Amino acid sequence: MSRADDGIVVVGGGLAGLRCAEALRKRGYDGRVRLICGEHEAPYDRPPLSKELSRTPAFLREAGWYPDNDVELVLGRPAKALEPARRTVTLAGEEAIGYEKLLIATGAGARPLPLLSGFENALPLRTVADARALGAILAPGVRLVVVGAGFIGQEVASAARRVGASVTIVEALELPLAGLLGVDVGRRLVRMHREEGVKVILSAQITAAHGDSHVEELELATGERVGCDAVVVGVGVAPAAGWLAGTGLDPSGVLTDPAGRTSIPDVFAAGDVSRPFDEVQGRHVRTEHWEAASRQGTAAAAAMLGDSPQKPPPPSFWSDQHGHRLQYVGHADIADEVRIDGDPDARDFSALYLRRGRPVAGLALDRPREIAAIRRCIADSNRPAPNTKETDR
């Protein structure tokens, strides 16, 4: 049973967890706040890991912020279990700590590729420890294979080219991200990588991995063999929800209302581990983006203190590749039409996604003002859509 001084426990020292702790103090909460971190580092930012292959953590707050704000950091002690009936979380080392209110903010972990498990040079990229392991291998001329051309895979390919590595992307789809962003955008991204010297193999099925402790060659269904000194596996992430077994919470994304409340009293969830109800789409949606994790952590703090969070803006993210900034806003997955503006041969374009003629999403390369206009357009259904050329979805 919780005691009055158990206060608020935040499990997961990432962006969502930190934002919750910050918002609790900003709102004047003066009870105990504990931030339980599975990693040995205080909360840090993940985007620099793939954009800069950064080996030192980009801390979200300097060390003094935690004592100054009376936030207790518990490092390197992952939560092992949640017992809602006793209001306790058990940490590694079997210590059980009580809570009055709890935030689940354990993020997500990289999905493994069974064919590559056990090889020392086949790495995920989710943590600073992963970035250090990759950085120790990468050097000019090193052959890096990136499996999966999602945003993180594409960013790693771009950053590895900058250090002079010889990079191959192996992607199972005909075009990367085409299901979400459309074939035209997928083609432009592939062209950009190829122009930068990245070999891109599409519609590729990996059938075998050869090597002893280190993978040396990937074999594809076509019989092609791709030699490698290192492999980055970027085939998506799964919620870090294993420690919630037995609670009834959904391991494929903890369901919450728009404020982050779960079905368990006084238990909230935010960030990549959560699947909040999205009022625009009328369903629970898991978002693996920085802006959403930040906003959801703040919203959960408001809900814990009895306030209603503001209506969320449309989801958005950015990605940096080969010196260009790609920005996205909205819900392209519900679009039935894409309009592209910009020369297909130039790295300067925007895409407007419409549903029944109304803008629902936008994407732009190096056009921040256009993204801002599209964002306003999505929010204001009476505003005319920016003028763009129609293209296939």
Ligand X SMILES: Cc1cc2nc3c(=O)[nH]c(=O)nc-3n(C[C@H](O)[C@H](O)[C@H](O)COP(=O)(O)OP(=O)(O)OC[C@H]3O[C@@H](n4cnc5c(N)ncnc54)[C@H](O)[C@@H]3O)c2cc1C
| Stretch of 32-40, 56-64, 111-119, 189-197 lying at the interface with ligand X (CB under 6 A) | 32-40
Instruction: Return the residues of window 248-287 that contact ligand X according to CB under 6 A.
Output: 271-272
Amino acid at 113: L
C-beta closer to ligand X: residue 77 or 393 = 77
Between strands 44-45 and 122-123, the pairing is unpaired
Q: 228 or 240, CB closer to ligand X? A: 240
Which of the stretches 7-15, 223-231, 260-268, 372-380 binds ligand X when contact is defined by CB under 6 A?
7-15
The binding track of 317-356 with respect to ligand X, each residue x by CB under 6 A or -, is xxx-------------------------------------
CB of 390 to ligand X, least distance (A): 28
Interaction of residue 9 with ligand X, rule CB under 6 A: no
8 A C-beta contact, residue 229 and residue 194: no
Q: How many CA atoms lie within 13 A of 11 on its CB side?
A: 31
Which member of 61, 143, 289, 355 binds ligand X (CB under 6 A)? 289
Task: Give the C-alpha separation, 123 to 136, whole Å.
Answer: 12
C-alpha to C-alpha distance for 265 and 247, rounded to whole angstroms: 12
Q: Could you tell me which of 121, 120, 124 has the C-alpha nearest to residue 112?
A: 124
Which H or E element spans position 278? strand 274-278
Measured from the Cβ of residue 252, the count of other Cβ atoms closer than 10 Å reads: 10
Q: Which residue matches tokens 């953590």?
A: 57
Q: Are 121 and 215 in contact (CB under 8 A)?
A: yes
CB neighbours of 212 closer than 8 A, spacing ≥ 6?
A: none
Cα-flanking dihedrals φ and ψ of residue 21, to 5°? Answer: -60, -45
The single residue among 46, 261, 322, 367 that binds ligand X, judged by CB under 6 A, is 46
Positions in 290-319 near ligand X (CB under 6 A):
290-291, 293, 317-319
Q: How many residues bind ligand X (CB under 6 A)?
A: 36
Over the window 94 to 123, marking each residue x when it contacts ligand X by CB under 6 A and - when it does not, the resulting string is -----------xxxx---------------
Secondary structure E strands in 93-132: 96-98, 101-104, 108-110, 122-123
CB of 308 to ligand X, least distance (A): 22
**Integer Cα distance of 280 and 276 in angstroms:** 12
Burial label, 110 (beta-carbon count in 10 A; 0-12, 13-18, 19+): buried
Nearer to ligand X, 211 or 242 (CB): 242
CB of 236 to ligand X, least distance (A): 11
Among 9, 10, 15, 102, binds ligand X (CB under 6 A): 15
Which of 73, 102, 116, 125 touches ligand X by CB under 6 A?
A: 125
Q: Using CB under 6 A, which of 6, 9, 10, 13 touches ligand X?
A: 13
148 part of the interface to ligand X, by CB under 6 A: no
Name the residues that contact ligand X, by CB under 6 A.
11-17, 36-39, 46-47, 49-50, 78-79, 105-108, 125-126, 152, 240, 243, 271-272, 288-291, 293, 317-319
